[in-house]
Structures are given as C-alpha cells and as structure tokens.
Amino acid sequence: MTTMESTDKQQHTVSGAEITLDGVSKIYRGQQAPAVDNISLTVPAGEIVMFVGPSGCGKTTTLKMINRLIEPTSGTISIGGENIRAKKVDELRRTIGYVIQGGSLFPHMSVAKNISIVPKLLGWNTSRVKDRVDELLDLVGLDAAKYRDRYPRELSGGQQQRVGVARGLAADPPVILMDEPFGAVDPITRQRLQDELLSIQRELHKTIVCVTHDIDEAIKLGDRVLILQEGAHVAQYDTPEVVLSSPANDFAQDFVGAGSSLKRLSLARIADLELKTPTTAKVGDSTAQVRSRAEANGDGSVIVLDDRNRPLGWPWLRQLTGEKIVQPSGDLINLDSRATLNDALDTMLVSGHGGAVVTGDRDAYLGVIDFKTVTDFIEEMQREAETETKAAPAAGSDEHPASRISIAPTDEELDGGREG
C-alpha cells in the first residue's frame, strides 16, 4: 500500500549507530531454560526498532544486554561495529541513552541536575551543560525557564517522562534504549509522548531500541517491529506494514491479533493527508483585524500561535474579546504530523471543532486536519482494499469486529487488505 508510506521520511544525516547481536543467549543463574536463547539481530543505524512480545519473553533482558546491565552468557553484541566489551562498562553506558518507565528521575535532584548527569560525567563545562539542558527541555516541549529548577515530584507523570527522555538524549548518544517508556501514563498523554518521540527522531535520527508490550505502539513508532516469543525467539522482524499484512507465523498472527486490518489505519499518518489552513492569529495581533480576516475566510474560529509559531489555542470568534489577541486559556491538544489516523480520530472526538491542530518539528503549526478528510481517506482505503481482495483473495479473516473507533468501517468491511 503505497498510500500508507509516510511522506516525511526524508534523508537526514543519521547520528545513530548500528547495533548487532550475534548468537546472544542469557541463562539466569539457577535457571534451566535460557531467558534469551541465541538471538541474532541487526538494528540499522538511525532507525527505531520496537521489541514487542508477551510478558516474560525476554525483551527487557535483551535490551539490558546492550548496555551491559545484564551480561550475556554467550554471544557478542557490537555497536557501530565495535564490540561493547571493548570499552569500560561505565564509558560504554555514557554513550547509550537509557530511558525507563516513568522516567525514573532522581527525586532529590532538580530537573536540570537530572538531565545534566551524563554531560557532567563526560566532563562538559558548566555553560555548555546549562545550554544543553535548556535546549533539551525545549526539544521535549517543556518551558526551560519554568521547569529547569523544579523537582520531579513537582511534575506531572507525563512531564516526568519527558524529562526522562531529555535525560536519555542529554549527551547526544548515538544509541538510545527505552524500556516501556510510556507505560505509566494515561492514553492521551501517551499518544502525545509518542508523537513527540517521532518528532524528535525526525530531527535527530538516533538508533532507538524500544521495548513495549503494546502492538499498537510498536506499529506506530517502529521503523521495524521485532515480535518475540518465549526465550526471545524471533517470531518476525520486519516493517510494520509487512508485520500487519503478512504475519510470518501463527504466533505473530495471534500477537498482532484481531482487527489487524483496522490496525492498518494506524499505519496511515496524518502527514499522508491534506491539511486545511484556517485563519491564524499571533498573540498581540489586533482582534478587529483577525476577526475580519476570519470572516473573509468564512471561519468561525481562529488558531492562535505564539512567537515561535506554536499553536496555543483554538478560540471561537465570539471568545475573542479585548483589543489584542491574548493567550487563550485551556490546553490545546494538538497532533504531530507523524501521528496516526487512530490518534487523529481520538483527538478530534474530544476537540469540539470536528478537527485537530497538526504540528511538525518543535511543535510548529502546520495546519488542521478535519473529520471529513479522515473519513474520506478511510473510505478510499476501503475501496483500495476491496480491489486488492478481488485481485488476491484474503489469507484469513478476523472474527472480531471490535475496534476502538466507533465511526470507522467494521472489520468485515475493511478486511481483505491483507496481501495473500
């Protein structure tokens, strides 16, 4: 399905490094069966690889062997062609970002201190560290002046997680390991954090290995998805498109699970769709002028942007009082352009405008995606799927029409998209 290919995977300079695992096994002391049994794997430089699989299948163990928090019983691991045992262990770890669930921030250190740990270990000077902290907070969408001196307990769960990501990125490591990084936050926050990660990755092109137990998250974030079964045996290792359309075996099929045709919705990114461009206003603009511009465009509402082009709010015209446009109250939920159509529908359902504001790098405003665009796109996908079905009969059928998007076509309607 070429329409599902993201259009924004441009060529950037890749700052990541390739990771290879060669015949790696781990047998924990006192256990018979290996937790990880002879896994060989290449994680290409600059890509996000998602490890997914049932609980206890060895995801975390495999991940932690990469930064030597766990030593393999046998096999070799290299990063950028160099065996990870060649360096001193602490030096190795300073070149690998490590982000775990909840952010795992040190509660007795301020946000700035937490982020600056590795740069300081590497001997950066004070002013460079300070600049880096501010840059990173900005990158993860937190106002540096407001948050740098706070303590972790003064942050929300989502903010803590953002700081955790910033800390992982602090010394600009080529490789970042994440273990269920977004497991501890609510679904809306999780979606935002995922979007932000994609946006950051679009800028930085690190090699990211990320463990999750959520196949949807794996499909959304991964350039590749690694499905593991008991003992870290590879069930399938491929792009999300292939994983969804042709599961390699029964295990992968079961794991990808019911509604996989529908899951392909989450392969389509907002970036694949056309955005609307309603009237925008900057904070400080004259209200009268903004109002007349909106009326000329036939818009009932305007999108207010800050001086760095980031959307602040989406007030109706009648809410615009006063001479100048001010910062609207309330929190605007926007979508990253790499967000999936699933996310778009979720966000729209709570927005009240029948649409959602879309942002790109560093939260810069791109446009608005509306309900009709999405439903039209789904219909088109459906037609495409039908023609494909006629060309090549479906390999199987999903019996579970249940889905989390009530307005989307049912599984039966969509099914058959799987290439036979």
Partner 1 sequence: MWDFVVDRREQLLINAWNHAYLVILAVLFATVIAVVLAVVVTRLPKVEPVANAVSAAGLTIPSFALIGLLLPVTGLGDVTALVAVTFYAVLPILRNAIVGLQGVEPGLVESARGMGMSEPMTLLRIKLPLAWPVILSGIRVSLQMSMGVAAIAAYVLGPGLGAWIFQGLTQVGGKNAVNYALSATIGIVLLALILDLALLLVGRLTTSKGVRV
Ligand X SMILES: Nc1ncnc2c1ncn2[C@@H]1O[C@H](COP(=O)(O)OP(=O)(O)OP(=O)(O)O)[C@@H](O)[C@H]1O
Beta strands in 222-333 (DSSP E): 224-229, 233-238, 280-282, 303-305, 311-313
Among 100, 137, 339, 344, binds partner 1 (CB under 8 A): 100
Among 25, 60, 161, 347, binds Mg ion (CB under 5 A): 60
Q: How many CA atoms lie within 13 A of 302 on its CB side?
A: 29
Based on the shown chain and the rule CB under 8 A, indicate whether residue 123 belongs to the binding site for partner 1: no
Residue 28 contact, options partner 1, Mg ion, ligand X, none, Cβ 5-8 Å cut-off depending on partner type: ligand X
Q: Which is nearer to partner 1, 67 or 159 (CB)?
A: 67
β 207-212/48-52 pair status? parallel
Residue 283 contact, options partner 1, ligand X, Mg ion, none, Cβ 5-8 Å cut-off depending on partner type: none
Among 19, 21, 24, 35, binds ligand X (CB under 6 A): 35
Among 108, 128, 383, 400, binds partner 1 (CB under 8 A): 108
Burial class (CB in 10 A: 0-12, 13-18, 19+), 85: middle
Q: Which is nearer to ligand X, 89 or 402 (CB)?
A: 89
Based on the shown chain and the rule CB under 8 A, indicate whether residue 104 belongs to the binding site for partner 1: yes
Burial class (CB in 10 A: 0-12, 13-18, 19+), 393: exposed
Work out how close the CB of 99 gets to partner 1 at its nearest, in angstroms, rounded to a whole number. Answer: 9
Based on the shown chain and the rule CB under 8 A, indicate whether residue 376 belongs to the binding site for partner 1: no
The residue with tokens 């290299």 is 78
Burial class (CB in 10 A: 0-12, 13-18, 19+), 228: buried
Based on the shown chain and the rule CB under 6 A, indicate whether residue 55 belongs to the binding site for ligand X: yes
What is residue 237's three-state secondary structure? Answer: strand
Judged by CB under 6 A, the chain residues 247 through 306 that form the site for ligand X are none
Which tokens sit at 63?
Answer: 């991940």
Q: Which is nearer to Mg ion, 60 or 342 (CB)?
A: 60
Q: Which DSSP letter does residue 56 get?
A: T
Q: Which stretch of DSSP H or E encloses residue 295?
A: helix 287-297
Based on the shown chain and the rule CB under 8 A, indicate whether residue 323 belongs to the binding site for partner 1: no
d(CA 34, CA 32): 6
Q: What is the per-residue binding string for partner 1 in 50-69, x denoting contact by CB under 8 A?
A: --------------x--x-x
Closest by CA position to 54, among listed 257, 358, 317, 324: 257
Which window, 55-63, 154-162, 247-255, 398-406, contacts Mg ion (CB under 5 A)? 55-63
Question: Measured between alpha carbons, how far is residue 309 from residues 362, 365, 367 in Å?
Answer: 9, 6, 11
Which window, 18-26, 104-112, 271-279, 293-301, contacts partner 1 (CB under 8 A)? 104-112
What is residue 100's three-state secondary structure? Answer: strand
Among 19, 39, 48, 61, binds ligand X (CB under 6 A): 61
Among 92, 211, 348, 357, binds partner 1 (CB under 8 A): 92
Q: Which is nearer to partner 1, 16 or 152 (CB)?
A: 152
Q: Which is nearer to partner 1, 51 or 98 (CB)?
A: 98
- 10 Å Cβ neighbour count for 350? 9
The residue with tokens 């770890």 is 93
Judged by CB under 8 A, the chain residues 154 through 173 that form the site for partner 1 are 167
* Stated length of the chain: 420
Residues making contact with ligand X (CB under 6 A): 28, 31, 35, 53, 55-61, 213
Interface ranges with partner 1 (CB under 8 A): 64, 67, 69, 90-94, 96, 98, 100-102, 104, 106-110, 117-118, 121, 151-153, 167, 177
